[in-house]
């Protein structure tokens, strides 16, 4: 990761973009836990990094970095104006 907090902001923006695209496609409710294995979305931490344009390998990040990546993405995702 290049600049940690800049990267996290990019990740948050990618989460918002993902949600906005889903809303535009007709989704009305956010997925409760998008990284849970029970959802068909199948998102991974690597997907998040790739979508944010960050050249890093998720599995090579420290545990706290992996947590931050997923948390920031979810913050962005949940910040969308869901039509619920």
User: Which pTM does this prediction carry?
Assistant: 0.89
Write down the pLDDT at residue 41: 62
CA–CA separation, 16 and 19 (whole Å):
5
pLDDT in tens, the chain (84 residues): 558 999 999 999 999 999 999 999 999 999 888 887 665 567 899 999 999 999 999 999 999 999 999 999 999 999 999 987
């Amino acid at each position: 990761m290049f600049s940690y907090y800049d990267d996290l902001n990019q990740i948050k923006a990618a989460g918002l973009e993902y949600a906005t695209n889903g809303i535009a496609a007709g989704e009305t409710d956010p997925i409760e836990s998008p990284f849970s294995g029970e959802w068909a979305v199948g998102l991974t931490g690597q997907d998040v990094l790739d979508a944010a344009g960050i050249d890093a390998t998720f599995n090579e990040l420290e545990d706290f970095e992996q947590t931050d990546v997923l948390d920031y993405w979810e913050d962005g995702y949940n910040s969308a104006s869901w039509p619920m």
